[in-house]
Structure 1
Amino acid sequence: MMEVMSIMCALLLWTSLAHGKPMARKERVLHEKDLNKRTQEDNNSFQYDHEAFLGKEEARTFDQLTPEESKDRLGKIVERIDSDSNGFITTDELKAWIKRVQKRYVYENVAKVWTDYDLNKDNKISWEEYKQATYANPEEFDDATDQFSFKKMLPRDERRFKTADGNGDSAADREEFTAFLHPEEFDHMKDIVVQETLEDIDKNDDGHVDEDEYIADMFAHEDGGPEPDWVRTERDQFSDFRDLNKDGKMDRDEIRQWIMPQNYDHAQAEARHLVYESDQDKDQMLTKEEVLENWNMFVGSQATNYGEDLTRNHDEL
């Protein structure tokens, strides 16, 4: 999939496991500059669409449904997206829906882990509570490498926590803890996202990301093996679009432009893409029939097991 990507947003998200281990998980969220160029046969693209349109959790639920069940639920969702009930879905209505889904995912994620860290049940999570729940038992980590990694993460987590703690009381309310777990969603946290991205990729600790470091973050070279075509394309991307001042490396400002490009609205781009691919009469709007005709792009499952043990209320959306 990398060969068709022209804009990459590298968002460094540290979430936490309920059993006390932090999950050091780099999620490179990939956006395309021209979403309309994707082919409808590209299942990877479909998965991206599903998660953008439904949210990750709901996309997994839809993956367990039969095509008939998916279409039935999609029809109900379409009626909710059509906010003025005029029978047409505009790009703006679809954009608003995608933004809502994204926001819901973020806050649901925080709600799931809140009780694991609010140890004294005062509806706040102090740094000490978070540290106790996350780092109290380093011997539980699988090996020495894990222990080193988690010890390295402790000061990084503390730095991020202090940045999210807007009133400086060393305790995070719901909004502050959301900023801590999902810094990419908050303007005042974006410097931290840049800093953590730099620390992850800058292997020689010179304060910059050179071309080889940029490539190494997404591709592991095998001894003597040739680079695939998409890697050569990414090298061109680095020289043409990442290294803006042409000094052979990315500084903080260039990293910021790479992972958080200005004037790029993910929800707007995805909404335009979905409309473009499904608008059969080219009137710049979607009818319910047009959405259902292209249901596989919105919610269609590639799974063969349609999941007989679903427990989630299918009308939640």
Structure 2
Amino acid sequence: MRTLIVLLLLGVCATWVTGKPTQEKKDRVHHDKDLSDHKHDDSKDFQYDHEAFLGKEEAKTFDQLTPEESQERLGKIVDKIDKNKDGFITGEELKDWITHTQNRYIYENVNKHWADYDKNKDNNISWEEYKNTTYGYAPGEDEFYDVLDKEKYRKMMKRDERRFKQANKDGDLIATREEFTAFLHPEEFDYMQDIVVTETIEDIDKNGDGFVDVNEYIADMYTPDPDEPEPDWVKTERQQFADHRDLNKDGKLDRSEISHWIHPHDYDHADLEAKHLIYESDMDKDDKLTKREILDNWNMFVGSQATNYGEDLTRRHDEF
């Protein structure tokens, strides 16, 4: 049973458990996901829009379809995007869909391992189910009786329990799929950002003062070899700390500054892509799309190999 503890070390807490690489930069910042590996250049092809709208994996499926099949499937997707069934796709609905496609891999990963935790098959995961499966703990046992570093695992379990409670909105310690996803991937959920900041401080704050000073900040990314000169990138990071991380210039990062660091408020890629798709497809300029407007510009949304990408992707479907 104890072998299941590695699930915690390699999975759930892999991002947050302290473990500094040697001579290697570690990035704690939660950047917006790239919507596509392709450049956003509609003059050449629509591959960026294609992957942004469908998600990278689903885009591969559409690449094998004929134009007719692509349009038929696109129509079904449009029906899903139109949540209020009013016949129009708003910018917010389109943004939500794009965000959903980009997060799909997270939900698929959760679904893949769901049965490992949902022992009683009630389509929920209780804290007890998670704890017993992950730590091999059963009521009445001496906790971690066969583990050398008992205190380490107790702390890890308490940390997991705290995160589980934060993810569990109604406080019943029984997680729905959405709540369990927030537990496993807290960086993806706004209401979990506070716990992410807390865990980040716990990982980096070695002197226990509740702040992150420049040496702790650097130590989280870099461990020097004896007598090794400090690399240029480390010097740059020290300057970044002083110029851009330490906003109040007191020599250390508080919770607000750490949140600003690990959750930068960059522009919203999904929102920009939704606006772009509407701008390019909104024929009557009412700032929303009908199903017909989307299907008329189908190659921007779901272009396939059958369109020969380059040349054919620049033509409207009624030219085929």
SS in 2 for 1:128: helix
User: In the TM superposition, what is the alpha-carbon distance from 1:237 to its structure 2 partner?
Assistant: 2.2
Task: Give the root-mean-square deviation of aligned CA atoms.
Answer: 5.1
Please state if 1:256 is matched with 2:259. yes
1:195-234 aligned at under 5 Å gives the runs 195-222=198-225, 223-228=228-233, 231-234=234-237
Q: Which amino acid in the other structure matches residue 21 of structure 1? A: L
> How does the TM-score come out when normalised to structure 1?
0.57
State the partner residue of 1:158. 161
User: In the TM superposition, what is the alpha-carbon distance from 1:77 to its structure 2 partner?
Assistant: 9.1
User: In the TM superposition, what is the alpha-carbon distance from 1:236 to its structure 2 partner?
Assistant: 2.5
1:147-186 aligned at under 5 Å gives the runs 150-186=153-189
Q: Which amino acid in the other structure matches residue 224 of structure 1? A: P
User: In the TM superposition, what is the alpha-carbon distance from 1:152 to its structure 2 partner?
Assistant: 2.9
User: In the TM superposition, what is the alpha-carbon distance from 1:165 to its structure 2 partner?
Assistant: 2.0
> How does the TM-score come out when normalised to structure 2?
0.57
CA distance in 1, matches of 2:169, 2:179: 7
User: In the TM superposition, what is the alpha-carbon distance from 1:177 to its structure 2 partner?
Assistant: 1.6
State the partner residue of 2:193. 190
Which string of whole-angstrom CA distances, capped at 9 and with x for unpartnered residues, describes residues 191-223 of structure 1? Answer: 111101111122222211112222333333333
CA distance in 2, matches of 1:50, 1:235: 40
Q: Contact conserved, 1:78 with 1:288, CA < 8 A, in 2?
A: no
Q: Which amino acid in the other structure matches residue 7 of structure 2? A: K
In structure 2, do the counterparts of structure 1 residues 198 and 241 end up closer, same or farther at CA, with 3 Å as the change threshold?
same
In structure 2, do the counterparts of structure 1 residues 39 and 117 end up closer, same or farther at CA, with 3 Å as the change threshold?
closer
Q: Contact conserved, 2:30 with 2:187, CA < 8 A, in 1?
A: no
User: In the TM superposition, what is the alpha-carbon distance from 1:103 to its structure 2 partner?
Assistant: 3.8
Q: Which amino acid in the other structure matches residue 30 of structure 1? A: H
Please state if 1:120 is matched with 2:120. yes
Q: Contact conserved, 2:31 with 2:264, CA < 8 A, in 1?
A: no
Q: Contact conserved, 1:221 with 1:227, CA < 8 A, in 2?
A: no
State the partner residue of 1:25. 14
Q: Contact conserved, 1:75 with 1:288, CA < 8 A, in 2?
A: no
State the partner residue of 1:135. 135
Identity within the alignment, %: 51
Residue segments in structure 1 that go unaligned for 5+ positions in a row = 1-16, 41-47, 84-89, 276-286, 301-317
In structure 2, do the counterparts of structure 1 residues 97 and 166 end up closer, same or farther at CA, with 3 Å as the change threshold?
closer
Q: Which amino acid in the other structure matches residue 236 of structure 2? A: T
**Alignment size in residue pairs:** 257
In structure 2, do the counterparts of structure 1 residues 52 and 210 end up closer, same or farther at CA, with 3 Å as the change threshold?
farther
In structure 2, do the counterparts of structure 1 residues 290 and 243 end up closer, same or farther at CA, with 3 Å as the change threshold?
farther
Q: Which amino acid in the other structure matches residue 185 of structure 1? A: E
**Which one has a larger percent strand, Structure 1 or Structure 2?**
1
SS in 1 for 2:222: coil
Q: Contact conserved, 2:5 with 2:135, CA < 8 A, in 1?
A: no
CA distance in 2, matches of 1:51, 1:205: 44
Which string of whole-angstrom CA distances, capped at 9 and with x for unpartnered residues, describes residues 88-108 of structure 1? Answer: xx9989745531213433332
User: In the TM superposition, what is the alpha-carbon distance from 1:117 to its structure 2 partner?
Assistant: 0.7
CA distance in 2, matches of 1:153, 1:61: 36
From 260, 265, 270, the equivalent of 2:268 is: 265
SS in 2 for 1:218: coil
SS in 1 for 2:197: helix
Q: Which of 1 and 2 has greater Rg? A: 2
CA distance in 2, matches of 1:61, 1:233: 39
State the partner residue of 1:13. none
